[in-house]
Chain A
Amino acid sequence: GIQVEQSPPDLILQEGANSTLRCNFSDSVNNLQWFHQNPWGQLINLFYIPSGTKQNGRLSATTVATERYSLLYISSSQTTDSGVYFCAVNLYGGYQKVTFGTGTKLQVIP
């Protein structure tokens, strides 16, 4: 099956710092989503981004489908950004059988 790798696995940031999270996938995908799982366990949909660039406040994401990767940018990080960030993809031509990456655990310290 498709492999989804995220890096780094763990990240500690000082509040106010910027960061880039990466998601690599091994096959052509129909869509890609970024999720934030907060410390309470809730999965929040951040971006639906099969290709191109999107921005939402301090967060932005870029997917280069031809090169099989996506990046999530967090600027001016806040303690509320702490949690685990997942990317999730499904194969081109496939139905919604989504495969999640292993996640990046982010801790933002004051």
Chain B
Amino acid sequence: DAGVIQSPRHEVTEMGQEVTLRCKPISGHNSLFWYRQTMMRGLELLIYFNNNVPIDDSGMPEDRFSAKMPNASFSTLKIQPSEPRDSAVYFCASSLGLTNQPQHFGDGTRLSIL
């Protein structure tokens, strides 16, 4: 079975540019989560969706960050404009249901903003 698929695996871009990260959840999973991992702050939940609807975006650091889930099989996380401090590994995860279900992670996108 295909797991959570993220693209790109690596992204290097200059500050000020728009960055778009993509995620395809496991088929049949109706909850999707975006995380950010840095050395300083560890793994942080940014936003999560249930049935394509954003439930909690309180972890989104600034208005420069936005996330969408136009359908059950696709989500994007955008940063515009990007800044060097946004450099991190961004993970997407999905689960079956909103409560009491394990989360399955993609391989992450390693983002470097120069």
Contact = CB atoms under 8 A, between A and B. Distances in A.
A100 B103 CA distance: 12
Interface size class of A (residues with CB under 8 A): 20 to 34
Interface residues of B, number: 24
Q: Chain B contact residues: over half helix, strand or loop, or mixed? A: strand
Given A30-B100, A45-B102, A48-B102, A98 B33 contact: yes
A74 interface: no
B12 interface: no
Interface of B: 31, 33, 42-45, 48, 50, 55-56, 89, 91, 95, 98-105, 107-108, 110
Given A44-B105, A100-B44, 15 more contacts: A31-B100, A33-B102, A41-B89, A41-B108, A42-B105, A43-B91, A43-B105, A43-B108, A45-B102, A95-B48, A96-B48, A96-B101, A100-B43, A102-B42, A103-B42
